[in-house]
Amino acid sequence: MSDFNANFWSVYVTTATLVGILACLALLWITARKKVAPSNDNTTGHVWDEDLREANNPMPRWWMWLFVMSIIFGLLYLVAYPGLGSYPGQLEWTTRGEHAAEMDRAQQQLAPLYAQFTAKKVEELAGDANAMAVGERLFMNNCAQCHGSDARGSKGFPNLTDTDWLHGGSPEKIVETITKGRRGQMPPMAAAVGTPDDVKNVANYVLSLSKSPHDSVRAQLGRASFTACAACHGVDGKGNQAIGAPNLTDDTWLHGWGEQAIVAMVNQGKINEMPAQAGKLSEAQIHVLAAYVWGMSNKVQGKP
């Protein structure tokens, strides 16, 4: 109930809950007091299907008391546990607290296993079959949604199996990326480049850097305008890992290839974000996951 941003909703839920329970109690009381005058054959006079008659037998006592006990149980439950708006309950139980407790227990049980892994360097751990089995599970649960189950990524999500790294592919950089996350931003550059025709020229010059198919005349004309991009991508277009600026000479295209895709990038810019995993994974888990990711793009003896 902590998501409520106004006291009205807390009062509304509390009122609706209590009214519902009290209405059940009132219904039971009214039903118990209501008397139907029976006929000589002890029926109420209601007939269905021509010969099916409703008898006037009293409600079983055990059924009535079971109903009453259910109501009492509901009231006691609402005192002990959350259910009345923002009231936390006497036991102050929450799903988040339950989840945190379960995670703590799991961490304690797995601590001896991870202690063996943290004693090894990432490069050494990448050749440990047991560690990589754990790393694969961590990857599938936390990374595969974006990078794919085979870690080859897709449009907008980097391929982790090649040697093209935006922020560096060393074990230390991979640990840093997983721990803190990354936020890549290219601002719209059309105004800095010049006219729409200049943007097309720059797009063809960028294509020429990786020897991709391009218009050589436009590429020559776009060389001078590329200076607007050189601050991040470098004069030679080889990028800058310190700020995550992509290498434009390696024919690896994260957001699409071709003149149209590059023109759209220059005109509109792009923001990419990888969320930090420090709040979800322990240092030991990040260490194993980093070894798994590093091993994807590095041939390790003993690793398939």
Residue with the larger pLDDT of the pair 126 and 299: 126
* Residue 50 phi, psi (nearest 5): 75, -40
Q: What mean pLDDT comes out for the span 200-222?
A: 95
Tokens found for residue 290: 């980093």
- Whether the Cβ atoms of residue 111 and residue 286 lie closer than 8 Å to each other: no
Q: State the average pLDDT for the chain.
A: 89
Q: Helices 129-142 and 283-296: crossing angle, nearest 10°?
A: 100
Residue 302, pLDDT above cutoff 60: no
For the chain, report the end-to-end CA distance as a whole number of angstroms: 49
The residue type of 76 is L
Coil/strand/helix, residue 133: helix
The residue type of 123 is E
Query: pLDDT band at residue 301, thresholds of 50, 70 and 90?
Result: very low
Domains of the chain and any CATH numbers = 7-80 (no CATH), 101-181+275-296 (1.10.760.10), 185-274 (1.10.760.10)
218-229 pLDDT per residue, tens: 999 999 999 999
90-119 pLDDT per residue, tens: 998 998 899 889 988 988 888 888 888 998
